[in-house]
Amino acid sequence: MKTCFRVILLFVSACVLPASVLAQTNLQNTPTFGVSPYDKEQAVWMVSGRVKTIHGDPVKGASVTVSPLVPAASRVLTTDAQGEFKTIYQLNIIDVTEFSLILTVKKKEFRTAHQYINFGPSAKSWVIPVTLREPGEDPDLLSSADLLSGLAPRLKQLGPADGLAAKSAQDYTRGVAEFLDKQRPEKALPILDRVLQRNPSCIGCRTMLALVDLSWEDWSGADRALAEAVNQTLTKREMARPEPLVAYGTCLSWQHEPEKAQPYFMEALKLAPKDALALQELGRVLLSMQQSEAATDVLGRALAARGGPETRLLYVEALVGSNRPDEATAEMNRYLDGREVKKMPVRVRQVWASIQDRKKVDAAYAKAKLQKGPTGVDFLLHPPADLIAGLEPAKDQGPLSSILDGVGTGVLELIKNFPNTSSLEAIHQEKLGHKGAVHDEQDQKFRYLCIVPRDASGPVFTEYRADFAGNAAQPKGLDEGFMLTSGFTSAEFFFHPVYRTESNFRYLGQQNVNGQNTYVVAFAQIPGRARITGDFRRGQSRMTTYSQGLAWIDPATYRIVRLHTDLLAPLPEQRLEKQAMNIDFNEVHFNHVKDGLWLPKQVTVTLDWNGKTLRNMHAYSDFKIFNVDATEKIGKPKNAAESSPPPKESTVSP
């Protein structure tokens, strides 16, 4: 009887073995009733993962501490060249009904990351992604602490209407208290994880869990949780909340992808139009995309919604970008509230300095304009002779008004009917010597995308580059002393009716260009009034520039066929002598589009700065139409690709 009793016990033990162990014993041809009870009561959990940077690069040599939350020893591992680590735990299934652990990942020059992992009762394993971020935070972006303090308090009180069952409310409150009051994320995570397992439709619960992950530097876990919360928000409108949208948009901002972040903040504002944090962060991304006018409007609304000091500082930046230095000065004084600028943080001093710089630039243009003699470069009165060779001078200015009206109408129609386009962009960058000889050069190619955002608050194009795999990309060359240039499709906006009063115009006459008769109109921006400005950047410093130039216009269609711009006046104090741009437009036809579009075909930008001459040539071909569905993109956070336009800009290396 005793022997039979042992056999029955062994049979019962075999019935509760995990499938993975059964498979292993069968592969080894081990008799079912010949294994010791100890082996039959073991389950195997594999803990494996991959550590990478925020840019996706593997991190070799990272220290990974695996700390089980069950009776088992901790282990310290080291990642290999692919950033991978792996270890196996074999535990008694009678003592351990479910397996959970905490990962602590350390690497010099990175922030320490933590993760809570719950395998549950299953021995199923997966590759655990761990993302390491560099220390410090970008002072121009929302801090992690401000994001948490702005969102977490909103999620403290949840109930059945939020998808949180009454029987889980006490546990949720306890988990939130561990996080917010006791500041113990390692205690909060297991509690909130169990709450979410019982209440998977609770968007607020999932968002709170993501915020705890963020506070613990679990970037990968937070990204997954927020992506799921965003998708739930977009599909379950009855439980939709703005918080996951704001948090996800902020994470994209931290990755310096403002064009992807923008639609999430806008979607959050559909749910809560007076959400001060959503308004503030939308204003921030608009500023980073050089949409100062739109940012000014949004940040003004954020202040009205009781936005704090950070909102006001951003509002000052937007006013500077909108060329409203006097208003910016008044708002800056409100922000400082009697405090000395020199004792403020670096970012505040930089904003204050930007106001002073704008005033200096305006004064410099005014001074240069007064000093310019009859032989100076003045496109209105003395345009460069090589540009107007063969010009038949105008007898009077009578035709000017009708020409400007015709061009303005054409620009309006272009924006209204503009489809999303892509083209092949070939960029040739050159460094020139004293007599124009090319000393160094390089070539690059991209897909150039141009979009009119659906929710743009004014005339604006979205222009950005992508590699041939569809990923956002930028030309290389700054470190080698080349120049980066962009923002050409928006060049016609000088003639947009909204901006026409910000420049002076003069009809010069008619000229034959490549066998075509054209009207020639000169223009010059008015400093202190113009809102369409150039942006000259050197390292971390930037300077606003104003333009003058010539436009060659088709008399039959009033389309601009060629546009040439240069600085309104050289700026010797900034050692910027010339910033000339020449654009040749070409009519492009698309399938299913009735009329052709006049788009840039060839662009040449020449810069004389600090004794250097740089030249970029851009050629566009293979134009195509593509569709962008903002709602679909937002519904799939991992693939969001909305974007907004850069200004006309030149960037040079030191």
Average pLDDT over residues 408-413: 90
CATH class for the domain made up of 399-652: mainly beta
- Dmax over Cα atoms in the chain, in whole Å? 124
What are the residue boundaries of the structural domains of the chain, listed by start? 41-132, 144-330, 399-652
CA distance 232 to 234: 5
The domain 144-330 is placed in CATH, from the list 3.40.1260.10, 1.25.40.10, 3.90.180.10, 3.40.50.360, at: 1.25.40.10
Residue 490 is predicted with a pLDDT of 80
Residues whose CB falls within 8 Å of the CB of residue 290, separated by 6 or more in sequence, listed in order: 321, 535, 645, 646, 647, 649
Which residue in 293, 327, 322 sits closest to 312, CA to CA?
A: 327
Average pLDDT over residues 576-601: 86
pLDDT tens for each residue of 350-368: 899 888 877 777 777 766 6
Residue 540 is predicted with a pLDDT of 60
pLDDT bucket at 247, cuts 50 / 70 / 90: very high
Contact between 508 and 388 (Cβ < 8 Å)? yes
Would you state the structure tokens that stand for residue 145, as one six-digit string?
Answer: 């602490």
pLDDT higher than 90, residue 590: no
Residue 637 is predicted with a pLDDT of 63
- Comparison of pLDDT for 536 and 430, the residue scoring more: 430
Residue 642 is predicted with a pLDDT of 31
CA distance 158 to 173: 9
292 membership: H or E segment, kind and range: helix 292-304
Query: In degrees rounded to 5, what are phi and psi of residue 601?
Result: -110, -45
pLDDT tens for each residue of 465-508: 888 877 778 888 888 888 888 878 788 889 998 888 889 999 99
Contact between 45 and 89 (Cβ < 8 Å)? yes
| pTM assigned to the model | 0.65
Q: How far does the chain reach from its first CA to its final CA, in angstroms? A: 91
pLDDT tens for each residue of 322-356: 878 889 999 999 999 999 999 999 999 989 988 88
Residue 40 is predicted with a pLDDT of 52
Residue 208 is predicted with a pLDDT of 97
For the chain, how many helices (H) and strands (E)? Answer: 17, 22
Highest mean pLDDT among 380-394, 517-531, 565-579: 380-394
What is the Cα 459 distance to its own chain's centre? 20
- Comparison of pLDDT for 227 and 577, the residue scoring more: 227
pLDDT tens for each residue of 269-282: 999 999 999 999 99
Residues whose CB falls within 8 Å of the CB of residue 68, separated by 6 or more in sequence, listed in order: 74, 89, 99, 100, 101
pLDDT bucket at 21, cuts 50 / 70 / 90: very low
DSSP codes joined into one string, 584-627:
EEEEE--TT-SS-EEEEEEEEEEEEETTEEEEEEEEEEEEEE--
pLDDT bucket at 28, cuts 50 / 70 / 90: very low
Instruction: Look up the CATH architecture of domain 41-132.
Output: Sandwich (2.60)
DSSP state of 180: I
Residue 131 is predicted with a pLDDT of 93
Query: In degrees rounded to 5, what are phi and psi of residue 9?
Result: -65, -45
Average pLDDT over residues 551-579: 89
pLDDT tens for each residue of 193-214: 999 999 999 999 999 999 999 9
Average pLDDT over residues 611-640: 69
Q: What share of the chain in percent tops pLDDT 90?
A: 54
Q: What share of the chain in percent tops pLDDT 70?
A: 85
Task: Return mean pLDDT, the chain.
Answer: 83
